Amino acid sequence: MPRLLAILLLCLAFWATPAAALTLSPAEQAWLKAHPQLSLGIDASWPPFEFRDSQGHYQGLAAGYVQLIEKRLQIKLLPVEPSSWSEVLAGAKTGRIDLLPGVMATPERQRDLAFTRPYLDFPIVIIAHLGGPQPRRLEDLYGLKVAVVQDYAPHELLRTRNPDLNLLPVPSVNAALQAVATGQADALVGDLASSVWSMRQLKLEGLYISGETPYRYQLAMAARHSQATLIGILDKLFAELTPGEIETLQEPWIGGVLDRREVWQEVLLYGLPALLAVLLVLAAVLRINRRLRQEVSNRKALEQQLRISEQHYRGLVESLNAVAWEMRLDDYRFTYVSPQAVKLLGYPLSDWFQPGFWQDHLHPDDAEAALSYSRGESQQGHDHNLDYRMLAADGRPVWIRDIITLSTLDGAQVMRGLMIDISEARQAEDRFSSVFHHCPDILVIARRSDGVLLALNHTFEQQLGISSAQALGKTATDLDIWGVPGIGSDLLQRMQGQALNNVEMLFRRRNGELFTGLISAQPIELDGSAALVVAVRDITELKRTQQQLQVSEEKFAKAFHASPDGLLITRLSDGRLLEANEGFCLITGYDLSQVVGRTTSDIGLWANLDDRDRMIELVRSQGMARDFRAWICTRTGTRRLGELAAQPIMIDDEPCMLTIARDITERQLMQERLHQAATVFESTAEGVMITDLDQRISAVNRAFSEITGYSEAEALGQSPRLLSSGQHDSAFYAAMWHQLAAEGHWQGEIWNRRKNGEIYPEWLTISAVRDQSDSITHFVGVFADISTLKQAQARLDYQAHHDPLTGLPNRLLFENRLNAALSDARTDDGQGAVLFLDLDRFKHINDSLGHPVGDMLLKSIATRLREQLRDIDTVARLGGDEFIVLLPGLHQPRDAERVATKLLACFSAPFQAEQHEFFISASIGISLFPEDGNDVATLVKNADAAMYSAKAKGRNRTEFYTRSLTFQATERMTLEHELRRAIERNELSLHYQPKLCLSTQKLIGAEALLRWRHPVFGDIPPDRFIPLAEENGMILQLGDWALQEACRQLSEWQSCHAPFGPLSVNLSGSQLRQAQLAEHIAGMLSDFGLDASKLQLEITESFIMNQAEEALFILHELKALGLQLAIDDFGTGYSSLSYLKRLPLDILKIDKSFIQGLPEDQDDAAITRAIIALGRSLQFTVIAEGVETKAQEVFLAAEGCQQIQGYVVSRPLSAESFASNFLGPLPIGSTEKAPV
């Protein structure tokens, strides 16, 4: 191993060219000057690389390099020590830490960090346990649980390059070794140095290095990429270190570790099975010696051949890895020495030929014996072998095996021989022989065929009482060692092909005493013969101790499990529960099987994990923890307060903790209640008064004085009658005291008087206080001033029963009053009426002028309605523009009609809202009781149906309920429901009505009109479902569908028919108020490939006039797209001519109401002429809709109207009929329009 270290140092020195001084560039010098102090991220638990010793000093190989850096660069490196290596690594990546002194580069780390060249290279090895799997290579780890240190380089390498491995990350090297030793993991993958160091420190039984991985642990330093200058400086510094400096830095920390890698004590730590491996090595040494003897024999034969040919002899022996020599027998002076002599002892060849060289360089302890033995054998003419030591030129002793033969040369006796360096073999033999003979367990080597003992150690002689002279050459059966007669042959047969591991058996000593031992055996080959290495450990005392411990544990277990308090034993390192008692289960709700073997974190025991850390810190610093309070969580998730006591104990040489837990939740709650009661008494906002049985006040609180005005001194000793208001009679107080006596408490509202004479309401609770004998000792009165509450209740009651906008009763109050009126009517045989009033066209006002104006109008209407009614009548607002009136105590139905007429009449005068003046009307439906219903719901529903009948008959009128209206209301609801499903059921369609140019009598466009065909009700006219859609909000969905369908149809016609003019589509007010309407239409045109000029949008005059500025903005946006814009129903919306000329319109469409009377009706004719003239003067195209007769067509043509639309041209047609009747084919190669 020293040679391996030397090679490693030479490799490092290969790129580390020595230099007299560190040469830095100006930029590097400036960087060091700007950074005189850097933070250093260290891993304080990674010996021998870096760690804190018992005094807290920073030690290790990396620490040595850090000191060198500080000295050479004249900077200060300040250690930063987060709680884990993961935090250290994260700090370096984020820049909180400037430098990592000992870290390996991995692809994952290189994304954030820059690394120096490695200053140390170690293998990454596999550590296993002799009692488990024996992985030799990385491939053997698949299927095993492999421990790795969290976020160390082996963890990152295996995680990324071998993702299928079953990895068990642990916090430290020690924890990883313990995991393998305890069977939690099958193997550990880690660097060689820290693993061997920790194995030596922990002395864990049965661990050894079972193999190596293909990865190397290349230790370097690292910083963020932004600190590349620092990395370059460090590389220069490391490159200029001399091999001597590197050895000085590394030898104290890794030299010894590497040497011990091959030492038995480090590889097999005190485990009995490990001794077998030692014996295998010893057996190998014996085999080497035997082979060496065989080589000696071979070399004797060679010597005979050498005598034949001197020349051949010299050429051959000088090529041997031994020293061939020849010396005179008379004076032991060398006459020939082969060149290997220089390598053997280090002396030049000339020295060997000096007189007395051999004798002078014999080891003093061996000189006399060697000379004596050699002379004696030589005098007798015997060839002989001799082992002895000679002193080398550097003073070290060298073991030599000398193979000597005698011969005659020119009549003189000479000796010739071979000197073989056996220093390493002797050292190994001495070392392993010492281990064999001084092992505390019985060790023997036996012949496998018959069990004859070939070798045994001193422990065999001591424990069995049989000497080696008596035992060698005999079997264990011959020596009567087996405690069970006849077992020897069976056991020998069993060991022929397999090993034994820790088999418990009885053995017999020479004096007949039996003892229990663990026997292990391993088959070996010894000099070509089958043999066995057998080890036996006497566990008699261990068994006796175990029995005593078992008795002790039984006693402890009984006490442990009988304790009413919760007891648990946990492992100090990770909180794993090793044992718990029933008391713990009662507190937490777990079964023992659910907790033993799991950590307290796994079961979520600690409500706050910091509490566990604080308790462990107390145990470590003070030796125990007492009266420690912490919240713990039960199995159901509820929290209980525990009072804990803990102290450390050792179990199987592992630090553990015994904890006693007592549930003090109820006790704590009681203490808190007592404290709260005292605090509440003084700080509560409610007055508290305590009296004795004589009705004398014995205690009051601060709130009592604040509420009543009486101080504590003024109240004590007085009677509670001090507060009497005189509002309650004696019967009230008698009932109070009667309930107190019977039930022990009384609660209710009472009026009392303050010291200043003010009477106020209070909510009073009086409770009797009893002693242990259930006798009343005191009365406690708790009261609150509810003056403000009463006022708030009154406000809330008003708000709950009145409309917040108008102040009128709301639906709830109306229904209460109607229920009361119905009850009175049933009792008195009376009658009354319900009037449902709905404003006509109020929605247009809201849409055009906004809700603030609408709200002001509703307030004015509410005031005017209230003025028309009697005090006993009720007008309520149901919401929106709906009002409902209750008329109780009527004499006849005509009374209801008179009131309804009066209400309609009040709308004749205009209403003022801001700067606007409104003329508005209402429709009223009337239901009578008891004729039309005897409950609230029926009467309201029937009045609502009558109101819709009034609207259907022209608005601004009243209607009495009839039974037929129920059907109409039901039909309306059904229609509304069906309309919501019409689109998804594909019941809607567009029909197309052509437009005719009066001057050319040709088709110049068409209008898309929405139609609904219901599968049951058939064709439903637009004037039935369009108003309904406007009321329920579906008009937006219908309008968008119509626009989409019109564009789709127009696109289809465009592909196969000649152009026929723009297609017009009506836009509702709701659509026009859509956000980003222009963008929506532009997208639609783009989707269907339509030019904007092909689409004409019709907007009602009422929307344009009511939404003046908004309409102007919207129309300009639409016009910017290239669309044609038409004003629809012109003449019905009171257009302002000054405003009209500002609009970007193309077409003015005369409402059909003015066309119907043409040409006979002079008024209609005059209006139509004026509209045509106006349109032409404003450069609008004028079109008349609803033209049904030829006479109307002739009149319009004569007056200058340009286009017409109506039945005189065609009824609205389906898309197919319209195409077949009005659209011609698209001529190939022609752009001419097809004729109509």
The confidence score (pLDDT) of residue 309 equals 45
Please give the Cα distance from 626 to 200 (Å, whole number).
37
Please give the Cα distance from 877 to 886 (Å, whole number).
12
- DSSP for 1169-1236 reads HHHHHHHHHTT-EEEEE---SHHHHHHHHHTT--EEESTTT---B-HHHHHHHH--B--TT--PPPP-
The confidence score (pLDDT) of residue 1207 equals 94
* Together in a domain, 1205 and 1131: yes
- Residue 818 sits in a domain whose CATH number is 3.30.70.270
Please give the Cα distance from 234 to 239 (Å, whole number).
8
Name the DSSP letter for residue 118: P
Lowest mean pLDDT among 1-5, 255-259, 395-399, 491-495: 1-5
Q: Which of 430-434, 525-529, 604-608, 678-682 has the highest mean pLDDT?
A: 604-608
Q: Looking at the domain assignment, is residue 970 inside a domain?
A: no
- Domains in the chain: how many in total? 7
* Together in a domain, 416 and 443: no
The confidence score (pLDDT) of residue 250 equals 84
Give residue 1029's pLDDT band: very low, low, confident or very high (50, 70, 90): confident
The confidence score (pLDDT) of residue 737 equals 86
Could you tell me the pTM of the whole model?
0.35
C-alpha R_g of the chain: 57
pLDDT tens for 492-509 read 888 887 888 888 889 999
Name the DSSP letter for residue 512: S
Task: Inform me whether the pLDDT recorded for 738 exceeds 50.
Answer: yes
Please give the Cα distance from 794 to 802 (Å, whole number).
12
The confidence score (pLDDT) of residue 858 equals 94
Please give the Cα distance from 903 to 866 (Å, whole number).
10
Give the count of beta carbons closer than 10 Å to the beta carbon of residue 66: 21
pLDDT tens for 523-562 read 888 766 888 899 999 888 888 877 887 777 777 777 787 7
The confidence score (pLDDT) of residue 924 equals 95
Name the DSSP letter for residue 119: S
Residue 498's domain spans which residues?
439-538
Q: Looking at the domain assignment, is residue 219 inside a domain?
A: yes
Name the DSSP letter for residue 117: P
The confidence score (pLDDT) of residue 964 equals 64
The strand pair at 911-913 and 874-879 is best described as unpaired
pLDDT tens for 450-460 read 889 988 988 89
Name the DSSP letter for residue 111: T
What tokens does 65 get?
A: 């390099």
Give the count of beta carbons closer than 10 Å to the beta carbon of residue 735: 13
Q: Looking at the domain assignment, is residue 432 inside a domain?
A: no
Element (H, E) at 822: helix 811-828
Q: Looking at the domain assignment, is residue 462 inside a domain?
A: yes
What tokens does 127 get?
A: 């550590």
User: Percent of the chain beyond pLDDT 90?
Assistant: 38
> Which residue would you say has higher pLDDT here, 7 or 804?
804
Burial class (CB in 10 A: 0-12, 13-18, 19+), 545: exposed
Beta strands in 287-383 (DSSP E): 323-328, 334-337
Mean pLDDT of the chain: 84
pLDDT tens for 295-306 read 545 555 454 444
* Together in a domain, 731 and 813: no
Last residue in a domain, options 666, 693, 723: 666
Please give the Cα distance from 456 to 461 (Å, whole number).
8
- Residue 15 sits in a domain whose CATH number is 3.40.190.10
The confidence score (pLDDT) of residue 1231 equals 47
Name the DSSP letter for residue 880: T
Kindly provide the b/e burial profile for residues 696-724, where b requires at least 16 CB atoms within 10 angstroms of the residue's own CB. Answer: ebebbbebbbebbebeeeebeeeebeebe
* Together in a domain, 838 and 917: yes
Please give the Cα distance from 1151 to 1133 (Å, whole number).
10
Location of structure tokens 């007008």? 875
The confidence score (pLDDT) of residue 1232 equals 41
Please give the Cα distance from 118 to 105 (Å, whole number).
9
Note whether 883 and 876 are within 8 A (CB).
yes
Task: Please give the C-alpha separations between residue 495 and each of 120, 204, 521, in angstroms, as whole numbers.
Answer: 46, 28, 7
* Together in a domain, 1113 and 1066: yes
The confidence score (pLDDT) of residue 295 equals 55
Task: Inform me whether the pLDDT recorded for 280 exceeds 80.
Answer: no
* Together in a domain, 955 and 991: no
Q: How far is CA 583 from the centre of its chain?
A: 35
Please give the Cα distance from 599 to 608 (Å, whole number).
15
> Which residue would you say has higher pLDDT here, 263 or 554?
554
Task: Inform me whether the pLDDT recorded for 143 exceeds 80.
Answer: yes
What tokens does 722 get?
A: 């001090």
Give residue 11's pLDDT band: very low, low, confident or very high (50, 70, 90): very low
Please give the Cα distance from 146 to 163 (Å, whole number).
12
Mean pLDDT, to the nearest integer, of 993-999?
A: 95
* Together in a domain, 226 and 327: no
| 208 DSSP β-pair partners | 128
Q: Looking at the domain assignment, is residue 286 inside a domain?
A: no
Side chain identity, residue 992: Y
Task: Inform me whether the pLDDT recorded for 1078 exceeds 50.
Answer: yes
The confidence score (pLDDT) of residue 879 equals 87
What tokens does 1113 get?
A: 């903005």
The confidence score (pLDDT) of residue 8 equals 27
Give residue 1097's pLDDT band: very low, low, confident or very high (50, 70, 90): very high
Element (H, E) at 900: helix 893-905
The confidence score (pLDDT) of residue 1105 equals 64
* Together in a domain, 1009 and 1128: yes
Task: Inform me whether the pLDDT recorded for 916 exceeds 70.
Answer: yes
Name the DSSP letter for residue 743: H
Task: Assign 3-state DSSP to the chain and report helix, strand, coil percentages, each to 5.
Answer: 45, 30, 30
Side chain identity, residue 1066: N
pLDDT tens for 833-856 read 999 999 988 877 777 777 888 899
Task: Please give the C-alpha separations between residue 1122 and each of 795, 1062, 1144, 1182, in angstroms, as whole numbers.
Answer: 58, 12, 11, 19
The confidence score (pLDDT) of residue 288 equals 54
- The three-state secondary structure class of 698 is strand
Please give the Cα distance from 524 to 929 (Å, whole number).
117
Location of structure tokens 């009033």? 837
Name the DSSP letter for residue 955: S
* Together in a domain, 844 and 753: no
The confidence score (pLDDT) of residue 717 equals 92
pLDDT tens for 387-426 read 999 999 999 999 999 989 998 877 788 999 989 888 887 7
Nearest of 382, 355, 380, 358 to residue 370 by alpha carbon: 358
- Residue 1196 sits in a domain whose CATH number is 3.20.20.450
Note whether 126 and 188 are within 8 A (CB).
yes
- DSSP for 492-508 reads HHHTTTS-EEEEEEEEE
Please give the Cα distance from 830 to 892 (Å, whole number).
10
Burial class (CB in 10 A: 0-12, 13-18, 19+), 69: buried
| 1007 DSSP β-pair partners | 993, 1064
* Together in a domain, 637 and 745: no
- The three-state secondary structure class of 49 is coil
* Together in a domain, 1003 and 1105: yes
The strand pair at 323-328 and 412-421 is best described as antiparallel
Nearest of 1151, 1212, 1222, 1187 to residue 1008 by alpha carbon: 1212
Q: Which strands form 514-526's sheet, in the order they lie side by side?
A: 453-456, 442-447, 529-538, 514-526, 500-508
Give residue 1095's pLDDT band: very low, low, confident or very high (50, 70, 90): very high
First to last CA, the chain: 110
The confidence score (pLDDT) of residue 277 equals 47
Location of structure tokens 């923890």? 625
Please give the Cα distance from 507 to 480 (Å, whole number).
9
- Residue 458 sits in a domain whose CATH number is 3.30.450.20
Q: Looking at the domain assignment, is residue 971 inside a domain?
A: no
Mean pLDDT, to the nearest integer, of 1151-1169?
A: 90
The confidence score (pLDDT) of residue 257 equals 57
Name the DSSP letter for residue 395: S
pLDDT tens for 291-342 read 555 554 555 545 444 444 454 445 555 556 788 899 998 889 999 998 888 9
Nearest of 1099, 1101, 1044, 1105 to residue 1070 by alpha carbon: 1099
Length, in residues, of the chain: 1236
* Together in a domain, 153 and 262: yes
Q: Looking at the domain assignment, is residue 883 inside a domain?
A: yes
Q: Looking at the domain assignment, is residue 178 inside a domain?
A: yes
At residue 548, φ and ψ (nearest 5 deg) are: -65, -40
Last residue in a domain, options 427, 448, 469: 427
Name the DSSP letter for residue 576: B
Mean pLDDT, to the nearest integer, of 650-658?
A: 89
